[in-house]
Structure 1
Amino acid sequence: MKIEDIAFSALLAVGLITLTFRGLIKKNLIKPSKISRIFYQDDESFINYWEKAQEKGILNYIIKKIIYMTITFGIMNGISVLYKKQAQTVTLFEYLSFCVIVGLLSYVSWNEDQNKYNQLKEKENMENHNKS
């Protein structure tokens, strides 16, 4: 089995597990646990996470994403080079291009998370207003 097949299988498994936990939690078939939180973030923990992220700012958020993704990309490239002795290493230009792309995607992700936060807070306010 090639390393690409293993990586694809692992990503597919994580995606399926995430979707499974999301469905089970949203339908109240299971309660969030430490294991499920690895794959799925419930609304309350997202609100707490996002409030902290907002305090630190968008630049901090983007830089963290770039660092995490660049390290992950580097590790995957290193494994590829070790696995295939003739594999070409990634150039500095390719890493910088990768960082720019991740930065742009992180900016989009920031806006999506901000919209999700606003919707959850609005929903929470409506529920509190209806209880009153």
Structure 2
Amino acid sequence: MGRWAGLGFSRASVLKTIIVFIIAIIIMSYLFRYLVKSNKIKPSKLSKLFYMDDEQYVKYWEKERRKGKIKFVLYMDVLISITIWGTAIVVIAATDGDFSKLKSTLPIFYGYLIGSTIGQPLRWNINEKRYKELTKNIE
């Protein structure tokens, strides 16, 4: 019996959920890009989670880069940590309410935290590259 089975999940169901989640994010990204570019909706906080036009992106990244890479990485790590723990608490509360199972989510939490700590500096570099490409003609 694996760790997921102890929580009432099979590995296949977890994998399917992750795949569906990734596909949903990709679809939402393209959907919001289309809706914002075609002026069918005005940019909002929700749409900015999935798509930012170049002008909005430059303004956003100018603010973020002033804070520095370390603050960016730490902020994102904290945000992801809160999201993971919050999701785990909601799932446990919605299923059987046995919060002793929260301890069994620690490996997942550590995995995401390590992945985020490695991934966020890479995200910073990608954002910097996009910012520099968008602003090179302005300067």
TM-score between both structures, scaled by the size of structure 1: 0.70
**CA offsets 1:35-59 (integer angstroms, 9 cap, x no match):** 3435321111111111111111000
* 1:23 paired residue number: 34
Listed as ranges, the gaps of 5+ residues in structure 2 are: 1-8
Q: Distance in 1 between matches of 2:58 and 2:91?
A: 38
Alignment of 1:89 onto 2:102:
yes
Root-mean-square deviation (Å)? 3.4
Alignment of 1:48 onto 2:63:
no
Q: Distance in 2 between matches of 1:111 and 1:31?
A: 32
Relative to structure 1, the CA distance from residue 97 to residue 20 in structure 2 (aligned partners, 3 Å threshold; closer, same or farther) is closer
* 2:121 paired residue number: 107
Q: Is the 8 A contact 2:88 2:105 kept in 1?
A: no
* 2:78 paired residue number: 67
Using the aligned pairs only, state the percent identity: 19
Relative to structure 1, the CA distance from residue 103 to residue 53 in structure 2 (aligned partners, 3 Å threshold; closer, same or farther) is same
Q: Distance in 2 between matches of 1:116 and 1:76?
A: 31
Amino acid in the other structure paired with 1:110: W
Aligned length: 122
Listed as ranges, the gaps of 5+ residues in structure 1 are: none
* 2:130 paired residue number: 116
Q: Distance in 1 between matches of 2:86 and 2:127?
A: 27
Select between 43-52 and 14-23 the one with higher mean Cα deviation.
14-23
Q: Is the 8 A contact 1:77 1:90 kept in 2?
A: no
**CA offsets 1:66-92 (integer angstroms, 9 cap, x no match):** 011000000111122223336832458
